[in-house]
Each structure stands twice: as structure tokens, then as C-alpha cells.
Amino acid sequence: MPKSQSNKDVPMQSKECRLVFTRLRTQFEKLGQKFARLGQRFARYGLDGFVLALIASIVVAYLWPQPGIYLGAVDMQDITRSGIALIFFFYGLRLNPAQLRTGLANWRLHLVIQTFTFIVFPALILLAKTLAGGTWDAHLWMGTFFLAALPTTISSSVVLVSMSRGNVPAAIFNASVSSLLGIFLTPLWIGILLAATSGGFAPAHAILQLSLQVLLPVVAGMMLHKRFGILALRHAHTLRLFDQSVILLIVYVSFAESFSNQMFRRYSPWHIILLCFAMLVLFFVVYGLTVLSTRILKFNNPDTITALFCSSQKSLVNGTTMSRVLFPGFTAAGVLLLPLMIYHTLQLIVTSAIVGKRR
């Protein structure tokens, strides 16, 4: 080939490469826009990226459980324990002690929310189990009671209250107090139940472990709020992504253990469908009872909104954290967390629809 001809071909080839690159970039941009629109549609119904990531983590645990069950010098268990402590340290860093003190005044609202969170929820599951009969040996029943004994959500309830023009300071107060009360009340509920069935649970030890993993980091963060709180608030989105990453890791490890031990083989798709229906009924029963309570007590509209969204929510952050402490070495941890994950997804979908109607 003549030299002059090859020189002419070089610019032509580079031009074609640029053209192909431009077309590919355009296609990727269009694909990204489609995914963004799809994400917005999912978000309208409560199916945000985090919910989809939870589902993906379960799928990965099913297909590739080995890293989740590996025990070595540094394993997933060590990483999750460190991640849990950091979640609650950053949470304490964002808490303003002054806001907590001023929130004490509205005691009737707080009493309603905490009563529903820690008394009405467990009582409903105990009543349902009594009517159904049998023992608490079934892991899904135990997981449902564990869900009922958990605190309210840390952040989503505050967001929902804000979007519905409710009492945001009261929502922040109750989310914070509920998380702290859960350190003591959730192990007590689980201890009462397991003591009546197997007798092999020590609530005092669980409370001590939770105090070290949850309460101590929260208190340390609150003590540093004046100095570093503004940084935590400024980077709230980044910290939220960190929290979600730790939760996804805990979910992956829990389900990897359950899949590895074949703990799901006894459950058919109908069991899961029935569980979804039961979680939906549980939400609406609590929501309806809360509406009735606020009308009897004649709450104003902002306090009613706060009571509705704080009383009916359950925390996935606290649930995944406490499951590692309350049920150490439990091979069916994934089964135990299944009711909580279903309830968490359904509460996002339903409350998003309710907020959409209120706005």
C-alpha cells in the first residue's frame, strides 16, 4: 500500500472511531435517562433504589453464599460489627441534644407512639399466634414477633412526617427515643418469649451487647455533636449511603447463612404470599388503631400525622443490627429477617401512597 494512501486512511479511521464513540455515548445517556425515569416511577410507589438493592443482595446470597459464610482472620462478621458501631456513631453525631430536651413537652403524643411501637405491636402478634395455635418454633412466627418488638424507623418516618406537614420535631424526638428504648425493650420482649419456649436466652447479656454496639456509639456521637455535628449534617447523603451499605451487607450475610444451611426449603411461594398479606394486614390494623387513638385524644392535624407515620413504622436498621446480637450463630437468620424486610418494603409502598394523597 502506498504511503500517501495509508496517511489518508488514518484520519478517516480516527473520524470513524469518534463517530462510533459519540453514538455509544448517546446510547448510554439515553439508557441512563430511561433508568432514571424508571427509578422515579418505582420511587412513587415506595420502591426506591435501596429496596431494589435489598432484593439484589438476597439474589447474590443465593447464587454466591461463600463469602457470607467464610470465617477467617477477617470475615464478614467482623466487618458488619464495625459497620454497625459506625452507623450509630454517625447517628448520634447528627442528633441535637437541645432538640431532644425541647421535645419532652408533647408527652401525650410521645406516649401514644411508644405504646404502639413497643406494646400494641407485640400484643397483636401474641394475640394472632394464640388464635392460630401451635408453638413459636416456626422461624417465620419468631421473625414476625421480632419485627413487632423493634423500634420505629430512624429516618423514613421523619421524612414522611415532613412531606405530610406534620410535627417534624416530635418525629425526630420519637425516632431517637424509640431507638434508645429498643436497646432495652426489644431484648426483654424476645427474652420473655424465648424463656417461655426454650429457656435459653439471657436478656441481660443481650442488653449489654447492644449497649456496647449501639448505645455507646450513639452517646459518643452526641458528645461530639457540637464540634462535628455540622459536618455530619452536611454529608448526610453520604452517611445514608454508608448506612444502607452496611444493612445490605448484613442482609447478604444473613441470607447466605440461611441458603447455605437450606433453611428456605420448607417454605413454598404460597408461604411468602401469605406472609406478605399478613404484613399488610398488620400495618393497616396498627394504622387504623392509631387513627382511632388520635381522634379519642383529639390531636391536632400535625400531631395526628406524626403519630400515624411513627407508630406504624419498623426500623430495618435496628432490626438487622439487633438480629446479629440477639440471635448469634442462628443459621436461619435470613428466614428470621424475612418478615421485617417484607414489612419494610410494604410500609414504604403504602405510606408513599398515603403521602401522595395528603399532599
pLDDT 10s digits, 289-315:
999 999 999 999 999 999 999 999 998
CATH of the domain at 186: 1.20.1530.20
Ordered DSSP codes for 71-84 = -SSS-HHHHHHHHH
Residue 43 resides in a domain: no
d(CA 276, CA 269): 11
Residue 280 resides in a domain: yes
Cite the DSSP H helix spans in the chain.
3-44, 49-63, 66-69, 76-94, 97-102, 107-115, 121-132, 139-148, 156-163, 168-197, 203-210, 216-223, 225-234, 236-260, 269-296, 301-311, 316-326, 333-358
Q: What is the DSSP letter of 136?
A: S
Helices 333-358, 316-326: crossing angle, 10 deg rounding: 170
d(CA 141, CA 143): 5
Q: What angle do CA 197, 199, 203 make, to 5 degrees?
A: 110
Residue 290 contacts residue 269 (beta carbons within 8 Å): no
d(CA 187, CA 189): 5
Gyration radius of the chain's alpha carbons: 24
What are the tens digits of pLDDT across the range 313-325? 998 888 888 888 8
Is the pLDDT score of 110 beyond 90?
Answer: yes
pLDDT value, residue 24 = 58
Report residue 205's pLDDT band, with 50, 70 and 90 as the boundaries.
confident
pLDDT value, residue 326 = 84
d(CA 173, CA 181): 12
Is the pLDDT score of 137 beyond 70?
Answer: no
Residue 46 resides in a domain: no
Residue 38 resides in a domain: no
d(CA 178, CA 290): 17
Highest averaged pLDDT of the listed ranges 117-121, 158-162, 249-253 = 117-121
d(CA 172, CA 165): 14
d(CA 85, CA 218): 9
Q: How many domains does the chain have?
A: 1
Sign of the four-CA dihedral 292, 339, 89, 235: negative
How far does Cα 226 stand from its chain's mean position? 28
Q: Which domain covers residue 84, as residue numbers? A: 73-358
Q: What is the DSSP letter of 291?
A: H
Structure pTM? 0.78
Ordered DSSP codes for 180-236 = HHHHHHHHHHHHHHHHHHT----HHHHHHHHIIIIIHHHHHHHHTHHHHHHHHHHTH
Cell 404502639, located at residue = 116
Residue 68 resides in a domain: no
Residue 181 resides in a domain: yes
Residue 53 resides in a domain: no
Q: What angle do CA 147, 178, 355 make, to 5 degrees?
A: 75
When comparing pLDDT for 5 and 168, which is higher? 168
% of the chain with per-residue pLDDT over 70: 79
pLDDT value, residue 1 = 47
Residue 116 resides in a domain: yes
pLDDT value, residue 307 = 94
Instruction: Tell me how far apart the terminal alpha carbons of the chain are, to the nearest angstrom.
Output: 72
Average pLDDT over residues 142-149: 93
